[in-house]
Structure 1
Amino acid sequence: MKLRNKTLAGGIASVLMLGIATNAAALSPQSQAERQSVRDALTRGVDTPSLFDAVDGQYRPDGLPAALFAPDFNARPASPKAMALEYLAARGESLGLDAQAVANLAVTSERLTGNIGVVRVRQQAQGLPVYGSDIVVSTASDGRVIFVANDVVTGLADVDTTPKLDADRALVVVAGYLGGAPLRHGKTALMLHVANGKTHLVWRAEAMSSAVGVGGWDVLVDAHDGTVLRAQSTTYNVDGTGTVFKPDPLSSARVAYATTGYPDNNNADSAQLTAQLSSVTLREITLSAGQHSLNGPKAVCWQWEPPTDAACPVQASSDFSVTRSALTFDAVNVYYHVDTFMRYINTTLGVAVTPRQYTGGVRFDAHGENGDDNSHFDSGTGELVFGEGGVDDAQDADVIIHELGHGIHDWLTNGGLSQTQGLSEGVGDYLAQAYSRDFPNQWTPSDAAYNWVFSYDGHNPFWGGRVTNWHTNHSYPSNLGSPSPHIPGQYWASCNIVARDAIGGAMMDKAFLVGLSMTTGSANQKTAAQAVINAAATQGANVAGIAAAYNTSCTYAVTVPVSDLIFKNGFEL
C-alpha cells in the first residue's frame, strides 16, 4: 500500500507540472450538498445544447436537426440496421454528414423491440471514434423511419493520432484531477473530440474514484499535453434512505412516518414494522458447495464500497427470512426488488435490458457510501450503491428502483444517458412510482402520499422526498424549478405518471422504455416525450391518452402522430 501511494503521489506531481490542479475537497464530502458542490467544481467542458423547436423536430443553432419527429422516409423493409443505413445514405447530408462521413459511420448497437428497431451509429475519422457523436435511427418493421436523434459533430480536422501520453498516464491525470485518491475503476479509449472549434486527440476515461462522494466520471484528457478538456459526473444520486417491504411499510400500512412504531429508530425492529414484512420468493439464487448466495441472473449482491461488512449473506439454508434489524435484511430486499423489476421489463414488457458493463445480474452494494445518507448508480461500472444514513436506502423500493432506473436509462441508450433538464432523475422517479403504485392495498388517490416518491426514505425528518404531481404548479420549459437535476426531473416523472394513469401501466411503461431507447445523451424532456409518443403510436398504444398528458396536463407541445402511423397489430404484452 505504501508503494502504491508513493507511486501515485509521484504521478500527481507530474500531473501538476502539466497544469492539472487537484481538488483535495473531493476526498471526503459528507452531505449531498457538499457532494454536489464537489461535482459542480470538477465539471468541465459540458455544454447544455440550445435547441429550437419546429413543427418537424428540434434544431441546433447551426441549423442541423437534433431530433426529427416525423422523418418522412420509407426504407426497403429489412433488418433495422439495413433500414437505418439506407436512411443515412439518403439523408446524411441533411444531418450534417458528407458522403465520406456516412461511409465511416460505425454501428454501435442495434435493438429490436416488437416492431421497432433502434440503431445507434457513431462518427469515425482517421480510424478513431468521435466523442459524443451518436446518431440514432428508429424504424418500424414496414420500413418507416419514425424518429431520428442526431448528435452529429461538425468541424472535424485531421490531427496527429500518435498519443504522447499512454493510457496509464492518462488515468494518473484523471486520478489527480478527481482529488488524488486511487481509482477503483478506470477504462480508457482513444478518441477524437472537438472543443472550441479545435479537434483534439483524447483519452476518454470512464473512471471511479475510491474517494466516497467523488464517484464516477467521464473524463477527456488531451493525449498530447495532458489537459483535462471535459469532465462529467456519471454518478446519479438519490437523497435518502428506505425500507424494502412491498413497497415500504408506510405505504402498505397507510400510515405517516411519525406513527408509533414506524420511525427508523436507528434501524431497530418494532412490532409494527415487522407486521409489514411480506414473505417472498427469491428467484434463481445460487447454490454452490452447499452454500446459498444472492447471486442470480437478474441481480447480484456485490460488495466494494465501505463499510466492509457481511451484508451479502452466504449460508447453508435457502431461507433468508430476517427482520429489518438484521445485517443481511437490506441485501435480501434489494435482490428481490431488482430481480422483480428486471423480470417485469424483460419478460412481461418484452424490452430487452441488461447491464452493458458486464455479463450477469445487476450488481448492487446494499451497504456502501461509507454509511452516508446517499445512493447512486455509476454508468462507468454499471453498479448500484445504497447508503445507510437515516432510513437505510436499501429498505425503500422507491430508492432501489430509482437507482436501477438510471441503470436502465444507461443500458437502453448504450451509455447515452441524458441529464438535460433532469431527464434521468425523472426516469428514475417515474419508474420508482410506477413500480410502487402497482402493489395492492396501499395509498389511494385521496391520500397526499399517493404522489410521493421515496415514501419511507423521504418525507420525514431526514429529507423532504419528491413528488409526481409536480406538473400541477409548474410548466415546461421555463418553470421546472431549480436547475438541480432532481427538481426538474419531477416534471418529467409527473407527466408520464399522468399518461400511465390514462392508458394503463404496462402499455405506458413499454412505450416509455422503447421511446427512451431512441434518444441520445443530449435529449431534453420534450425530445424524450416525442420519442415516447412516436414509439407508442408505432406499437398501437393509446396515443390520445399520452397526448392529453403531454400537451394538456403538461405543456410539452409534442406533435401527435396521425392515426395512419398506428399499427393494426400493435402493442402486445
Structure 2
Amino acid sequence: MPFAPSRAIVAATAVAMTGLLAIPASGATPSSTAEATVFLPNPVQQLGLQNLADNKDADSAAFGPAYRRVVLSDLDGSGTLTGAYVTVKSKTGKPAAAVNGAFPVWHRDADQFEQVMGYYWVTTAQHYLQHLGFGGALRPVNQRQIQLRIDQFGGDNSFFRDDKANITLGKGGVDDAEDAEVIVHEYGHSVQDGQVAGFGTNLESGSIGEAFSDYLAVVVTSWAAGTPTLTDEACVADWDSVSYTLAPHCLRRVDENKHYPEDVIGEVHADGEIWSRALWDIRNALGDTRASTLIIDAQFDFAVDTSFHDAALHTVAAAQRLYGAGAASTVQAAFHARGFL
C-alpha cells in the first residue's frame, strides 16, 4: 500500500547491536555478516537539523555526523545484499557488492547507500519482531525473504504489493530509502500481509494498516537507534518529509488527538491516525515490549476487511491472553478513548 497520498497534494561512533544477530528463518542459508554505512535512522532525527535539504542527492559536510558504520547480518555470503529476510533489487546504479568482506563507505550521493539502507532496516525490523518473541515462544511473523526494489518508482511514494510480496521505494523528493521510517512503514504492510494475506480491503482495515505501519516505523527505529532526543519520537519520517512539509518536518504523527467517528474523512492515512494514537497510548501505558507484542499478536485474528471495532476487540483479547486482566483493561481504555469501543 502507498506510504502517503500524492505529495503534490500534501503540500557517532559505536552502534548498539542488541537484537541484530537473530537466528535466520528455518531453511535459510547460513548467516553471514558484513559492515556497511547507514543513517540511524535519518539525518533530521539524528542531528536535529530542520534545514537539511535534498539538493538532488548531493552529499555535504552537514550529513557527516549522521553516517554510522553498522553490521549487516543474515546475509547469504554471496557478497550481495541478499539474506534470509530480504533481497535488494535496484535499477539505478550498480548493485552493492562487498569488498574484502565489507561494504564500502557509501554516502547518500551513491545509489548503493540506499540499497544498504533498505537491507539493514528490513532486517532490523524482522529482528525487532523476533526480539518480542515471534518465531520463538510466539508464532513467527513475516519470516520470509521479500524483494525490496530501490528507486524503481519515479514519484515521491512507496508501496507494498501483496500480489508479489515485494516493496518498492520511490525516488521523488528525498529518496525514500534514505529514511528508515519509510522503509519500516512499508515493511509493516508486509508484516500484516504475512499474518493475514491480502489484509486491508476496505477503508477501516486500510486505515488500520497505515496506522500500524506508522507505529512500527517509530518503535523499530527507537529500538534500534534509541529514543530520539532532538526531534519528537511520535513524528514519522522527519527526513523524507522535508520535501513537502514546513519545519518541524513530519509526514504524520502517532499521537494526534483524533476521535472516531467524527474525525473520519475517508482517507486511510488520515483516518489511520485515530488508530495509531490508540496504539501509542497502549505503548505509553504498558511499555514497548508488552504493547507491541500484544498489538502484533492480535493481528493474526484480524480479517482482511476487519473493522476498527472488531480489531479493537481482538487486541483486548490478546492483551488478556498474554498479560492478564490489568493489561486488557488498559488496552480497552485506550480504544474507548478513541471511540472504537
TM-score under structure 1 length normalisation: 0.49
Matched, 1:420 2:203: yes
Aligned to 1:520: 303
RMSD: 2.3
Quick one: structure 1 residues 434 and 526, their matched pair in 2 at CA, closer, same or farther if it must change by over 3 Å?
A: farther
Higher helix share: 2
Aligned to 1:47: none
Q: Name the amino acid aligned to 1:428.
A: S
Aligned to 1:462: 244
Higher strand share: 1
* Partners of 1:502 and 1:426 in 2: CA distance: 18
Aligned to 1:266: 56
**Of the candidates 303, 309, 326, which is equivalent to residue 92 of structure 2?**
309
* Residues 47 and 65 in structure 2, CA contact (< 8 A), matched pair in contact too: no
Aligned to 1:299: 86
Q: Secondary structure at the match of 1:314?
A: coil
* Residues 121 and 183 in structure 2, CA contact (< 8 A), matched pair in contact too: yes
Matched, 1:437 2:222: yes
Report the CA distance between 1:245 and its aligned residue. Answer: 1.5
* Partners of 1:244 and 1:420 in 2: CA distance: 35
Q: Secondary structure at the match of 1:411?
A: helix
**Of the candidates 30, 41, 61, which is equivalent to residue 247 of structure 1?**
41
Report the CA distance between 1:254 and its aligned residue. Answer: 2.3
Aligned to 2:113: 329
| Partner deviation per Cα, 1:50-91 (whole Å, 9 max, x = no partner) | xxxxxxxxxxxxxxxxxxxxxxxxxxxxxxxxxxxxxxxxxx
Quick one: structure 1 residues 297 and 375, their matched pair in 2 at CA, closer, same or farther if it must change by over 3 Å?
A: same
* Residues 434 and 497 in structure 1, CA contact (< 8 A), matched pair in contact too: no
Unaligned runs of 5+ in 2: 10-36
Matched, 1:338 2:126: no
Quick one: structure 1 residues 476 and 311, their matched pair in 2 at CA, closer, same or farther if it must change by over 3 Å?
A: farther
Matched, 1:479 2:263: yes
Q: Name the amino acid aligned to 2:115.
A: A
Report the CA distance between 1:398 and its aligned residue. Answer: 1.0
Aligned to 1:200: none
* Partners of 1:487 and 1:353 in 2: CA distance: 26
Q: Secondary structure at the match of 1:284?
A: strand
Taking every aligned residue pair, what percent have the same amino acid on both sides? 24
Quick one: structure 1 residues 441 and 550, their matched pair in 2 at CA, closer, same or farther if it must change by over 3 Å?
A: closer
Question: Per chain length, whose mean CA-contact separation is higher, i.e. which structure has more relative contact order (CA < 8 Å, sep 6+)?
Answer: 2
Q: Secondary structure at the match of 2:171?
A: coil
Alignment of 1:191-210 (within 5 A): none
Aligned to 1:129: none
TM-score under structure 2 length normalisation: 0.80
* Residues 418 and 524 in structure 1, CA contact (< 8 A), matched pair in contact too: no
| Partner deviation per Cα, 1:307-339 (whole Å, 9 max, x = no partner) | x33353134432223111112000101111100
Report the CA distance between 1:414 and its aligned residue. Answer: 2.8
| Partner deviation per Cα, 1:230-266 (whole Å, 9 max, x = no partner) | xxxxxxxxxxxxx96111111112232x1xxx21111
Quick one: structure 1 residues 455 and 311, their matched pair in 2 at CA, closer, same or farther if it must change by over 3 Å?
A: farther
| Partner deviation per Cα, 1:90-114 (whole Å, 9 max, x = no partner) | xxxxxxxxxxxxxxxxxxxxxxxxx
Q: Name the amino acid aligned to 2:126.
A: M
Report the CA distance between 1:296 and its aligned residue. Answer: 0.5
Q: Secondary structure at the match of 2:331?
A: helix
Alignment of 1:177-188 (within 5 A): none
Matched, 1:32 2:6: yes
| Partner deviation per Cα, 1:116-151 (whole Å, 9 max, x = no partner) | xxxxxxxxxxxxxxxxxxxxxxxxxxxxxxxxxxxx
* Partners of 1:523 and 1:392 in 2: CA distance: 33
* Residues 254 and 442 in structure 1, CA contact (< 8 A), matched pair in contact too: no
Quick one: structure 1 residues 489 and 508, their matched pair in 2 at CA, closer, same or farther if it must change by over 3 Å?
A: same
| Partner deviation per Cα, 1:380-426 (whole Å, 9 max, x = no partner) | 00000001111110011110011111111111113333443212111
Matched, 1:352 2:154: no
- Report the count of equivalent residues: 296
Quick one: structure 1 residues 493 and 312, their matched pair in 2 at CA, closer, same or farther if it must change by over 3 Å?
A: farther
Report the CA distance between 1:454 and its aligned residue. Answer: 1.3
Q: Name the amino acid aligned to 2:118.
A: V
Matched, 1:381 2:164: yes
Report the CA distance between 1:452 and its aligned residue. Answer: 1.2
Q: Secondary structure at the match of 1:455?
A: coil
Q: Name the amino acid aligned to 2:219.
A: A
Q: Secondary structure at the match of 2:313?
A: helix
Aligned to 1:280: 70
Quick one: structure 1 residues 515 and 311, their matched pair in 2 at CA, closer, same or farther if it must change by over 3 Å?
A: farther
Unaligned runs of 5+ in 1: 1-30, 36-242, 558-573
| Partner deviation per Cα, 1:344-393 (whole Å, 9 max, x = no partner) | 213533241236xxxx5221011211x22111100000000001111110
* Residues 244 and 394 in structure 1, CA contact (< 8 A), matched pair in contact too: no
Quick one: structure 1 residues 272 and 376, their matched pair in 2 at CA, closer, same or farther if it must change by over 3 Å?
A: same
* Residues 468 and 493 in structure 1, CA contact (< 8 A), matched pair in contact too: yes
Q: Secondary structure at the match of 1:329?
A: helix
Report the CA distance between 1:535 and its aligned residue. Answer: 0.6
Aligned to 1:493: 276
Report the CA distance between 1:526 and its aligned residue. Answer: 2.0
Report the CA distance between 1:524 and its aligned residue. Answer: 1.8
